[in-house]
């Protein structure tokens, strides 16, 4: 039977799954690790060719018979990255990534040029935050002027992979809304914000055309030959990793809260209208299904637990066992896990802090719990913003690497006081990309498949991983959570004063 493939180009690795929709079964899953270029100024970059080499390696791990059954490919990519491409399609510089905080000054410059962050929200639905694509353009103009002068096309990471696969340049609304330039209400580029980014250049001419979420394109013959794929393979529009994870966790209808525990932590939900917050409590993004995806993104999730584990000399796989003798609140130890700075709330210059240490509670187990709790509390704080907007949720769908931890699953259920389910396909973004490819292929062939129906048919949860809140534990987390919020408020006040001085 035919197979559809989902590719997720993440920060730490590229993942590929091959899915048999007739059997509702993943027949192969492969991954390839990626390097990261990090500098003390907050720069976080990767070379686009690393993604392509990793994709090649993943396809090479598929059996030839499996490659011959592939009919469609969908690509998920880390959001907000900037891949500068010249007229011939050559990459001009390393790609600056979503977790790059070196462009904070450029964020302020763009917002000041249009009249401040409130005006940005009026124009496009979002302020220009550190990590968003918009600020990477003036940074490149200042620090890589030769690359900027030769720039012909602005591509996001998943756009670049699509370009490599098909030879065509396009964007779709979900990932495009993470640039900072797209008015999420109208799904059109904001001319004032583009002009504020570079008043001397027509950036609109550098942006590829926007396509509908169910669009697809033929794979380039030379790439089909190289990868050992049939020449009739279709490549779907794709989308940002959060947009694809929404599909992969079945979050394409109201009432479901998806949570991803990866390097960053995210919360997102489906909306049938643009949900814009005047206070920028969440990102007002479009989805990659034709709807909208209000989203909370914290920049420090598994990176916090991994950092603590590495510092104390143990593997995160051993973390659950280590926490067996700890309790909610980590005996008074509390962590603001801002190792990468922070996006929600907007504290790009913040750093991690460990509070409440004494001779008794400063143990590796409590420090690890404090990191896990801090990452969870940061997401719970985001949930309250969505609830304040009137959104209500019946359940959490959990994905990402952190979802494999039983202790973390129970912690989330208790802290959020919501039942939690884990889809059988742990790689939600790659699986969502495969489902979008299936949806787009159906439409290309004249069908009218509904993405919500497809999600109900193919997204299945693992009963053994379902977790329900426990009343005693839920109550035990309430005071530590309030203490976390007090530490967070102090950090916000400190950085607010520092920015004025």
Where in the sequence numbering do the catalytic residues fall?
241
Whether 461 and 51 have beta carbons less than 8 Å apart is answered as: no
First to last CA, the chain: 65
Supply 314's token pair.
């143990």
DSSP secondary structure, 195-255, as one string? HHH-TTS-GGGGSPPEE-TT-EEEPPHHHHHHHT--TT-EEE--EEHHHHHHHHTT-SSTT
Task: Report how far residue 347's alpha carbon sits from residue 338's, in angstroms, rounded to the nearest whole number.
Answer: 9
Rounded (5°) CA angle 372-17-224: 140
Owner of token pair 């069908």: 447
Asked if residues 450 and 411 have their Cβ atoms less than 8 Å apart, the reply is no
Peptide bond into 183 cis (omega under 30): no
Contact 419, 412 (CB under 8 A): no
CA 294-264-292 angle, to 5 degrees, is: 15
- DSSP 3-state assignment of 286? strand
**Within its chain, how far is the Cα of 212 from the centroid?**
20
> What contacts 159, CB < 8 A, 6 or more positions away?
77, 83, 169, 170, 171, 175, 208, 238
The structure tokens 């279709």 sit at 234
Pairwise CA distance, residues 313 & 428, whole Å = 30
């Amino acid at each position: 039977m035919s197979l559809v493939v989902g590719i997720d180009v993440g920060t730490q690795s590229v993942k590929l799954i091959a899915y048999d929709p007739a059997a509702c079964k993943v027949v192969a899953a492969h991954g390839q690790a990626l390097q990261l270029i990090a500098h003390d100024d907050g720069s976080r970059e990767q070379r686009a060719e690393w993604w392509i080499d990793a994709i090649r390696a993943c396809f090479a791990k598929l059996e030839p018979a499996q490659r011959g059954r592939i009919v469609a490919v969908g690509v998920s990519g880390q959001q907000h990255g900037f891949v500068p491409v010249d007229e011939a399609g050559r990459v001009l510089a390393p790609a600056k990534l979503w977790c790059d905080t070196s462009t904070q000054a450029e964020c302020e410059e763009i917002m000041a040029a249009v009249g401040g962050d409130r005006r940005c929200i009026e124009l496009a639905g979002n302020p220009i935050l550190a990590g968003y694509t918009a600020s990477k353009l003036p940074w490149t103009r200042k620090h890589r002027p030769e690359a900027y002068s030769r720039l012909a096309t602005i591509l996001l990471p998943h756009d670049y992979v699509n370009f490599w696969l098909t030879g065509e340049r396009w964007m779709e609304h979900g990932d495009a809304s993470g640039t900072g330039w797209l008015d999420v209400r109208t799904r059109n580029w904001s001319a004032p914000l583009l002009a504020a980014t570079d008043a001397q250049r027509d950036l609109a001419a550098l942006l590829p055309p926007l396509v509908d979420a169910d669009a697809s394109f033929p794979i380039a013959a030379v790439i089909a030959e190289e990868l050992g794929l049939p020449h009739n393979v279709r490549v779907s529009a794709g989308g940002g990793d959060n947009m694809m994870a929404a599909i992969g966790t079945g979050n394409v209808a109201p009432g479901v809260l998806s949570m991803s525990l990866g390097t960053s932590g995210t919360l997102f939900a489906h909306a049938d209208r643009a949900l814009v917050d005047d206070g920028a409590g969440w990102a007002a993004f479009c989805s990659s299904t034709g709807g909208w995806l209000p989203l909370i993104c914290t920049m420090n999730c598994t990176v916090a637990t991994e950092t603590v584990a590495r510092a104390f000399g143990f593997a995160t796989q051993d973390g659950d066992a280590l926490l067996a003798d700890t309790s909610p609140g980590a005996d008074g130890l509390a962590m603001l896990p801002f190792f990468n700075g922070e996006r929600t709330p907007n504290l790009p210059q913040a750093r991690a802090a460990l509070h409440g240490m004494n001779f008794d509670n400063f143990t590796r187990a409590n420090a690890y719990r404090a990191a896990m709790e801090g990452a969870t509390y940061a997401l719970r704080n985001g949930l309250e913003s969505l609830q304040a907007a009137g959104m209500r949720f019946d359940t959490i769908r959990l994905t990402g690497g952190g979802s494999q931890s039983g202790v973390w699953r129970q912690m989330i259920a208790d802290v959020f006081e919501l039942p939690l389910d884990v889809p059988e396909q742990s790689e939600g973004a790659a699986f969502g990309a495969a489902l979008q490819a299936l949806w787009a292929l159906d439409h290309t062939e004249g069908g009218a498949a509904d993405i919500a129906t497809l999600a109900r048919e193919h997204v299945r949860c693992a009963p053994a991983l379902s977790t329900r809140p426990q009343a005693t534990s839920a109550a035990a987390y309430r005071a530590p959570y309030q203490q976390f919020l007090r530490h967070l408020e102090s950090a916000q006040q400190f950085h607010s004063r520092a920015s004025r001085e």
